[in-house]
Chain A
Amino acid sequence: MGSITLDHVSKTFGGHTVVPDASLTINDGEFVVFVGPSGCGKSTLLRLIAGLEDVSGGRILLDGRDATTEGPAQRGLAMVFQSYALYPHMTVRQNIGFPLLMAKLDKAEIERKVQDAARILNLGDYLDRKPGQLSGGQRQRVAIGRAIVRAPKAFLFDEPLSNLDAALRINMRLEITELHQQLKTTMVYVTHDQVEAMTMADKIVVLNAGRVEQVGSPLDLYRKPANRFVAGFIGSPKMNFLDGAEAERYRAHSIGIRPEHITPTRDKGRWHGRIGVAEHLGSDVFLHVALDGGLGHLTVRTPGDMAVSHGDEIWLTPDDSRIYRFDKAGLALDHTS
């Protein structure tokens, strides 16, 4: 079992409030991603769950039991750190076995569990190396290994992939998702990368300035963002926003259109503009278009065979059924107009 409940949790560091009031339920076996810009309090929230920081107010329940005052070890959770935090003087075997040594298991038992973890993570050949002799991806796996040997109630990941290069990051993303399928243990994963959030999560928690902006499945957040912040944060490239007269037409304070919901044409359309930078990705082209009449800038995503270049004129037409409307406070109005 591994359900986690945050009940009006708050955290203040010497007069500076990082988390004002967060309530959240994480069900057993879920893969939950905390996502938000840097400084939004997502790591703090994770450390509160881990017990590495004391809450300033509210309660943390693990499997329904109040764990607010328990120490990190008592909570039975495991954490993978951004810097991996491997013990540099210990071999991979000793690193992975360390939590078991602390739990006073006997040697044969430790060795068996370390071998099990090493097999799951393909670390068998590296057990006698030290962390300094491993690559970034291997260190990451050792850190995960150290987390899984204890069979924790839940795994906490604190931006675990941010020190890896792009290719390896995609690889490890798949591996962690696969690991979750295999172990079926609750995982709480912190990242600032919305792509990681979208691809890995069962449930995404979008945080901004310590507040929970929205909780939902990746596609929920993509289709029905609760407010302008979530709309702008989820999706890549970012959603375009227009306000003023164009928004008035939809009876809204501002409207949002995703780059993939705009059709570019050469001869006619809703808006006319001039292409600035065109980013050719092969499969897609991202067009950065400046609209005439100072309406604003739009990013447009279109399949990759469109031959365009800097300075070309273009007509743009939005998909009216997929326009997001927001009121003055940035809250979403009814989805379609």
Chain B
Amino acid sequence: MATGQAQKLAKWALMPSVAALSAWAFIPLALTFYFAFLRYNLQDPDNTGWAGFSNFYYFFKDPFFIKDLINTVLLVAGVIMATVVGGVLLALLLDQRFWGRGIVRLLVISPFFIMPTVSSLVWKNLILHPVFGLTAEIQRWFGFAQPFDWFGKLPLFSVGLIVAWQWLPYAALILLTALQSLDEEQKDAAAMDGANRFNYFRYIVLPHLSRPITVVILIETIFILNTFAEIKVTSVGGFAGNLTYLVFSQLNDANDVGMAAAGGLIAVVLANMVSALLVRLVGKNLET
């Protein structure tokens, strides 16, 4: 379409960002790749040299690997399920006309702007804490002498609760925008065709939302695979740790840079596999 000159110009104009992007993404990845094949333990600095695939082997053999892999999957799946269902319901609610809708919308979005570390601290110490927490207070009011210890008894669920709380606004916002783009005449047509509220939702609204739901699932998957702050701050890494946390603990607790790098690469490969699978499964919705 464009002339040769415009294409040449575009190429040169893009160069700086291509360069910056490769430096930003490629160099860390290359270094990780390099470290992953080295014997590189900070507690044993004299023992250097190539390690072959042993870092990968021992990362897989780590007693936490399978458990953390399962945790990762459960966390991603659970949070997506909660945010999509909750997001649809919340979006439907926010699409109604009621007094103070503007302020309520603003408030609903706010959790998304809070740093994960901060919200984790708030949830840990002010809301779910078995002694000082809001839930504990409520339980005592109902006469329970021993309030429920969320992070002790249900660590993964509690982490999921925090992450879902952060991502619910995002899902609701995307879905609300989609709801507002639904043609009003379709609602009239559905009413003429005899669809009641439930059928209108089931046959018209939900199919209309399938694309934005796909987008929400894809984006959330990528970000929630990397959940870290919520696990670290609430100190449940030993019970509810995911692969990101396992990589961190290799570096922080075992001081093994090589093994952490290998774990990082494994996590990258797994994340890519999950994304590719998702794009295959739900990405069809994005076509046409």
Chain A residues in contact with chain B, CB under 8 A? Answer: 47, 50-52, 71-73, 77-79, 81-83, 85-90, 98-99, 101-103, 130, 132, 146
Contacts and interface: CB of A to CB of B under 8 A. Distances in A.
Contacts of B208: 88-89
Contacts, number: 62
A325 to B, nearest CB: 44
A79 B192 contact: yes
Contacts of A83: 183, 185
Q: Kindly name the residue among A77, A85, A101 whose own CB sees the greatest number of chain B CB atoms within 10 A.
A: A85
A90 B210 CA distance: 13
20 contacts: A47-B188, A50-B192, A72-B191, A72-B192, A73-B193, A73-B195, A78-B192, A83-B185, A85-B185, A85-B186, A87-B204, A87-B207, A89-B207, A89-B208, A98-B190, A98-B203, A99-B193, A102-B194, A132-B288, A146-B193
Given A72-B191, A146-B189, 6 more contacts: A52-B191, A73-B192, A79-B189, A87-B203, A87-B207, A89-B208
B7 interface: no
Nearest to A94: B203
Contacts of B272: none
Query: Nearest 8 CB-CB pairs, A to B?
Result: A73-B194, A85-B189, A85-B185, A102-B194, A99-B193, A89-B207, A72-B191, A81-B185
A87 B193 CA distance: 12
Nearest to A133: B288
Interface of B: prevailing SS: helix
Interface in B187-235: 188-195, 199, 203-204, 207-208, 210
Contact of A102 (B185, B186, B195, B288): B195
Given A85-B183, A98-B203, A52 B188 contact: yes
A61 B188 CA distance: 21
A50 B185 CA distance: 13
A51 B194 CA distance: 12
Nearest to A72: B191
User: What does DSSP make chain A's interface, helix, strand, loop or mixed?
Assistant: loop
A98 B185 contact: no
Interface in B16-72: none
B50 to A, nearest CB: 56
A72 B190 CA distance: 10
Interface string B59-101: 0000000000000000000000000000000000000000000
Contacts of B207: 87, 89-90
A85 B188 contact: yes
Contacts of B185: 81-83, 85
Contacts of A79: 188-189, 192
Contact of B192 (A52, A86, A103): A52
A98 B183 contact: no
A103 B190 CA distance: 12
